[in-house]
Amino acid sequence: MMDRKMTRREFLRMAGFGVFAVFLLPGLKKLSLFKKSYKEAKYYKKLAG
C-alpha cells in the first residue's frame, strides 16, 4: 500500500478526517457530558424536593 504514491485528493481527505477527529470528537463528548449532567442535576433537584 505504501509503495504507490498518494494523490493530493486522498491526502486531503485523510487530513480532513484527522482534523474532524481532533476538533469535533472532543466537542461531541463535552456536549453529551453536559446534557447528561444537566439531566442528573434536574433529577436530584426533583428528588430533594
Chain segment 14-31, per-residue pLDDT in tens: 999 888 888 877 777 776
Q: Side chain identity at 13, as an amino acid letter?
A: R
pLDDT for res 24? 78
Q: Give the separation between CA 43 and CA 35, rounded to whole angstroms.
A: 12
pLDDT for res 37? 66
Q: How confident is the model at residue 12 (pLDDT cuts 50, 70, 90)?
A: very high
Least Cα distance to 9 among 23, 17, 25, 1 occurs for 17
The arithmetic mean of pLDDT across residues 25-38, rounded, is 69
Q: Which residues contact residue 14 at a Cβ distance below 8 angstroms, ignoring those fewer than 6 apart?
A: 6
pLDDT for res 10? 92
User: What's phi and psi for 6, nearest 5 deg?
Assistant: -85, 135
Instruction: Give the count of beta carbons closer than 10 Å to the beta carbon of residue 42.
Output: 10
Per the listing, cell 463535552 goes with 30
Residue 1: pLDDT over 60: no
